[in-house]
Every structure is written in structure tokens, then in C-alpha cells.
């Protein structure tokens, strides 16, 4: 090979090497938002995803506790969960839908900040300051409607944007499970010694009964997304 050809190959190799290094530097360069508008949109989508995930988890966790986040004193201990008495020795203690809405709001207020970790935005040049969320929950038969006041301030360079509130609807039969459970509790009050399986099997959701010690039954209202539990104590 001639000396001129060697020189050409060396130059070509150096150029390829430099291109490769430049490409790697580009890949490792931190992403930067184009401006406050794009940052605001990204934060909004991020928070809504957190709300969706937290709400879905809340349905599963609170369903196992009869809709309660903080259990009442009257409950049956079962494993890691406490199951509230909807029926206790002749009396109906099933909660109102308003109580379940308040419990769900408290759950969202406590758990949402744990999901909404804005540290990754800081790495991308967006500094986010968050206040405390305040949730209003509406539970319908087949959906849960959430309105959350969650003040956020994001600073991108010299620009500042604010987000104040978020809305989200979760398709869920959670409210229907509560309705079924209240009907079962009312039935027990009227006739605690008789299990009316015709009535139980006529409900719009599957209901299972697990006898326990201490004259107690656990009722399980079954849904494809969760189980809704309550306890009935007879003596």
C-alpha cells in the first residue's frame, strides 16, 4: 500500500472516530424542555398518571377494608387487614357513601405525593415546587370522580408556570359494591339467623361468605378489579 493511501485511511478513521464520539456525547446530553409550555404539559401528564395509579391502588386496598382508609374501632382482624363490621350483633354499622368518599379522599391526599416525585424534572432543568393535595371524591355506582386541588409551580429558566387543579374519572364498580354490601347488612338486621341465598345470588355482583371463629362471617363482594370485604358478627 502506498504512503498516500495510508494517510487517507488514517484520516478517514479519525473522522469516523470523531463522529462516533460526538454521537455518544449527544445521546448522553440531558434532555431540556423547549420552554415553560412543554414543561407544563409534561407535568400535567405526569400528575394525571400518578392520580390514575394511586386511585386504582386505592380501590384495591380500601376494598379489602370495606371502603375504609382508617378503620373504625369495630372491625375484625384478618391477616394484614382489618375488616369493618357492617353488621354487629343485631345492628347495622354499614357506612354511608359520604363516609367512603371521605375515606378515599384522605387516601389520595396521603398517597399521591409519594407517587409524584418531581426529581427527574429537576435533572431536565425544571424545578417543581409542590403544595399539599386536597381531594374531593364522588363515588357513583360505576365510576369514581376525583377533583384534586394540587398547587404546583414549575420554573424553567426565567419562566414560571403554575398548575392548580386536576380532574380524573376512574371506571370502577366500587360504588356498586358498597350498595350491595349495604343491602346485605340490612338483610342481616331483619333476619340474622337466616342466610337467604336466593337474595344473595340475585345481587349484581358475586358474593362469597367465609365463616370465621367468634360467630363471625366475612362477606366478599367480588369484582374483576378488586374484592370488597365486610364482616358480620352475630354474638
Choose the weakest-confidence range: 38-42, 91-95, 213-217: 38-42
d(CA 209, CA 187): 14
- Cα dist. 215→11, 30, 57, 76, 138 in Å? 88, 63, 31, 11, 35
d(CA 120, CA 63): 32
User: Model confidence at 19, in pLDDT bands (50, 70, 90)?
Assistant: low
User: Model confidence at 234, in pLDDT bands (50, 70, 90)?
Assistant: very high
d(CA 111, CA 57): 10
- Residue 91 contacts residue 74 (beta carbons within 8 Å): no
Is the pLDDT at 203 greater than 60? The verdict is: yes
Is the pLDDT at 171 greater than 90? The verdict is: yes
- Residue 187 contacts residue 231 (beta carbons within 8 Å): no
- Residue 132 contacts residue 92 (beta carbons within 8 Å): no
CA angle 123, 125, 129 (to 5 degrees): 90
Residue 108 C-alpha cell reads as 389520595
CB neighbour burial string for 215-228, b if at least 16 within 10 angstroms, e if fewer: ebbbbbbebeebeb
pLDDT, one tens digit per residue, over 100-151 is: 999 999 999 999 999 999 988 888 889 999 999 999 999 999 999 999 999 9
User: Model confidence at 214, in pLDDT bands (50, 70, 90)?
Assistant: confident
pLDDT, one tens digit per residue, over 34-43 is: 456 788 899 9
Which residue matches cell numbers 409524584? 116
Q: Is 193 helix (H, G, I), strand (E, B) or coil?
A: coil
pTM to 2 decimal places = 0.83
d(CA 126, CA 160): 10
Q: How many helices (H) and strands (E) does the chain have?
A: 6, 10
pLDDT, one tens digit per residue, over 56-79 is: 999 999 999 999 999 999 999 988
Amino acid at each position: 500500500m502506498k504512503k498516500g493511501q495510508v494517510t487517507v485511511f488514517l484520516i478517514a478513521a479519525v473522522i469516523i472516530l470523531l463522529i462516533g464520539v460526538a454521537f455518544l456525547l449527544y445521546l448522553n446530553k440531558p434532555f431540556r424542555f423547549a420552554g415553560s409550555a412543554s414543561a407544563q404539559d409534561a407535568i400535567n401528564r405526569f400528575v394525571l398518571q400518578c392520580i390514575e395509579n394511586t386511585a386504582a391502588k386505592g380501590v384495591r386496598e380500601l376494598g379489602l377494608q370495606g371502603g375504609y382508609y382508617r378503620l373504625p374501632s369495630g372491625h375484625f382482624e384478618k391477616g394484614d387487614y382489618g375488616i369493618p363490621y357492617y353488621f354487629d350483633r343485631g345492628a347495622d354499622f354499614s357506612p354511608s357513601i359520604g363516609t367512603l368518599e371521605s375515606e378515599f379522599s384522605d387516601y389520595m391526599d396521603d398517597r399521591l405525593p409519594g407517587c409524584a416525585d418531581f426529581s427527574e424534572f429537576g435533572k431536565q432543568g425544571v424545578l417543581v415546587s409542590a403544595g399539599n393535595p386536597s381531594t374531593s371524591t364522588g363515588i357513583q355506582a360505576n365510576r369514581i370522580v376525583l377533583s384534586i386541588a394540587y398547587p404546583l409551580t414549575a420554573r424553567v429558566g426565567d419562566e414560571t408556570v403554575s398548575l392548580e387543579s386536576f380532574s380524573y374519572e376512574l371506571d370502577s364498580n366500587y360504588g356498586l359494591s358498597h350498595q350491595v354490601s349495604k343491602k346485605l347488612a340490612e338483610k342481616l338486621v331483619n333476619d340474622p339467623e337466616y342466610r337467604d341465598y336466593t337474595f344473595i345470588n340475585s345481587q349484581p355482583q358475586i358474593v362469597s361468605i367465609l365463616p370465621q371463629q367468634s360467630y363471625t362471617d366475612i362477606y366478599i363482594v367480588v369484582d374483576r378489579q378488586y374484592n370488597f370485604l365486610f364482616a358480620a358478627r352475630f354474638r
